Amino acid sequence: MKIVIGNDHSSVDLKNEIKAYLEEKGYEVLNVGTDTTDSCDYPAYGEKVGRAVVDGAADLGIAICGTGLGISLAANKVKGVRACVCSEPYTARMSRLHNNCNVLCFGARVVGSELAKMIVDEWLNTSFEGGRHQRRVDMIMDIENK
């Protein structure tokens, strides 16, 4: 599985730690984030992550900024993206199980590296349940077409 990861200047260290963690687990990781702490604009990186997922360059995406909020808003503007901000594993699990989220977001100023790893593990190890949830995901995706 290929995972795209993107970040702004506030989250370079956490991005690098999560990238290495994923690679140790055997995932292929595409880095589209900044590698410097020079101030930059998180919307550009949220869009890059989202586009890589919907264009098929990656199966899933992870986007990190200070809080996870701004980068998730940007990623969600890409048609076909269902990005979620998760600050703990339960929300990460439910975002995949019920919402089939394809981009995980979190904040480097909100979660530490060990909690981020738990969130990532829960998210990646959960599959979409389908069933009644598919109808709801379809309804969410239909909003983009209005």
Q: What's the half-sphere exposure (Cβ side, CA atoms, 13 Å) at 24? A: 8
| 138 within 8 A of 98, measured Cβ to Cβ | no
Q: Is 42 exposed, middle or buried (0-12, 13-18, 19+ CB in 10 A)?
A: buried
CA 36, CA 123: separation in Å to the nearest integer?
Answer: 27
- Six token digits for residue 91: 């929300």
- Indicate the DSSP class of residue 55: T
Positions marked active-site: 65, 98
| 105 within 8 A of 85, measured Cβ to Cβ | yes
